[in-house]
């Protein structure tokens, strides 16, 4: 799939940035789905050191400052933020370089198979 097809595929899923549910239920908002996905992928999040920035204000600015400090110290740094301002590519950066359209499309190309594996393994947890 190309970059535009990848974006269409991503946007085919629920988008809580655009339409927030009226009720925050434990079924809709829990870590169970994320934990199930990480288990299916053999826990890639445990393979690297990370900084998780959470809160209500200033997360993007704080994350970008941390990224700048670590890059200046010679570290290789990946950054994921949301929402984006202009292009979906802004969400994923390595050492402050946006992911290329081809790289994003290549990653998203693996998603349909992953969604099928996830659905088969966790039928009670819709993707």
Write the DSSP string, 72-107: HTT---EEE-SS-SS-GGGGEEETTEEPPHHHHHHH
Give domain status of residue 115, yes or no. yes
Kindly state the average pLDDT of the residues 6-28: 74
127 found inside a domain: no
Q: Which residues are within 8 A (CB) of 100 and not within 5 positions of it... i.e. 6 or more apart? A: 89
110 part of a folded domain: yes
41-69: pLDDT as tens digits: 999 999 999 999 998 889 999 999 999 99
Higher-confidence residue: 15 or 74? 74
Model confidence at 14: pLDDT above 90: no
Q: Quote the CA–CA distance of 83 and 15 in Å, as a whole number.
A: 11
Which pLDDT belongs to residue 83? Answer: 85
| Structure confidence at residue 30 as a pLDDT band (50, 70, 90) | confident
Residue 126 belongs to some domain of the structure = no
Q: What's the pLDDT score for residue 33?
A: 87
DSSP 11: H
CATH number, domain with residue 25? 3.40.1190.10
Domain boundaries, position 21: 3-121
Global pTM value: 0.78
What percent of the chain is predicted at pLDDT more than 70?
Answer: 88
Tokens of 24: 């925050």
Confidence grade of residue 29 (pLDDT, cut at 50, 70, 90): confident
Number of domains in the chain: 1
| Whole-number pLDDT of residue 110 | 95
């Amino acid at each position: 799939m190309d970059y535009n097809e990848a974006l269409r595929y991503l946007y085919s899923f629920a988008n809580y940035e655009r339409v927030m549910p009226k009720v925050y239920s434990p079924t809709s908002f829990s870590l169970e789905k994320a934990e199930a996905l990480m288990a299916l992928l053999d826990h890639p999040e445990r393979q690297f050191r990370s900084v998780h920035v959470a809160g209500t204000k200033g997360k993007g600015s704080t994350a970008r400052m941390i990224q700048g400090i670590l890059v200046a110290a010679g570290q290789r740094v990946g950054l994921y933020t949301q929402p984006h301002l202009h292009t979906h590519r802004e969400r994923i950066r390595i050492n402050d370089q946006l992911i290329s359209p081809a790289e994003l499309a290549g990653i998203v190309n693996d998603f349909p198979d992953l969604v099928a594996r996830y659905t088969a393994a966790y039928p009670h947890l819709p993707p």
